[in-house]
Amino acid sequence: MLKYLVALFLSASAVNAVHAQSADSTGDLMEELEGDTKSGKKQEVEYTFKATRLINGSTVENLAHGVLDTRISHRFGNLNQGAENFFGIDNAYTRIGIDYGITNRIMVGIGHNVLSKENDGFVKVKLLKQLEGGMPVTVSYFGSASVLTGDAIVPSSIDDDDFKYSDRLTFTHQLLIARKFSPSFSLQLTPTMLHLNLVDSSKYSNNIFALGVSGRMKLSKRVALTGEYFYRFTGMDNYYGGQKTYNSLSLGFDIETGGHVFQLHFTNSMGISERAVLAQTTDTWEKGGVRYGFNISRVFTILKPKEFKK
């Protein structure tokens, strides 16, 4: 499955290198583009995605300077839990986060995962921007760290006396590479390295290498179909709490309503942090281990842009 998705990304890039990308709109925008061409300035491609996160993973989108984003991510239990658990609604997992744009290229964020009692923080830096007739992709770096503050699952090979606070830490490094192929379709590749400070080193490596493939297909002016898949090159044999772990697959919809972006989706990942998605997904779609979830985002302008201060 992964090789076909990668092939699709590369093929579409080749086609778009030959054929000019369709404009998002006409009229004044076309005049602006023509003016930029005459002046030698290339137009930046905007809104590759509509939010800084697609489903579980981050996108190349950044908050503008001085913009604050409050995010609530919620996952219910498995749909196959039956009527006695109201098809998973009785079991829930929530992450509450606050993100902020330090500059137009740098944003930071912190979050708290309620059920797992995991705190996380991240920084995202936009390195390259896709340009009309120029740079073919947007590239960003995403780095995060998280710490478990509740009860941690300690491998049986490690004595409790040897368990240190640093064993609660996890670090993630990602390179986000995305291209907006048309006004309706965007695709992103996400090479990822996850480092777990504590594993059973006699069986597993501390590092998990993975490749994320995510996309967005616009269905209407305010609704888009989204998808996300993380394929692990290492860590495929990992167990979590005595259960086998699987690759994360998610499908959903983005719904835009003014300052809000509602993201509705189905996923086999219960957790929301990078640690949980890559190393602790213990359910699979084939066995009915799918849960409904949503993300809600509300942005606020804390610092007004200079052109609006007067």
Confidence of residue 82 (pLDDT cuts 50, 70, 90): low
Share of the chain above pLDDT 70, in %: 77
- The pLDDT assigned to 19 comes to 39
Query: What is the band of 48 on the pLDDT scale with cuts at 50, 70, 90?
Result: very high
pLDDT tens, 91-145? 778 999 999 999 999 999 999 998 889 999 999 999 999 999 999 999 999 999 9
Between residues 194 and 236, the one the model is more confident about: 194
* Whether this model's pTM surpasses 0.85: no
Please tell us whether the domain made up of 2-21+44-304 is placed in CATH 2.40.160.40. yes
Q: Could you state, in order of their start, the residue ranges of all structural domains in the chain?
A: 2-21+44-304
C-alpha span between 274 and 3 (Å, rounded)? 23
pLDDT on residue 40: 62
Tell me what pLDDT residue 239 has: 87
Q: At 302, phi and psi to the nearest 5?
A: -85, -45
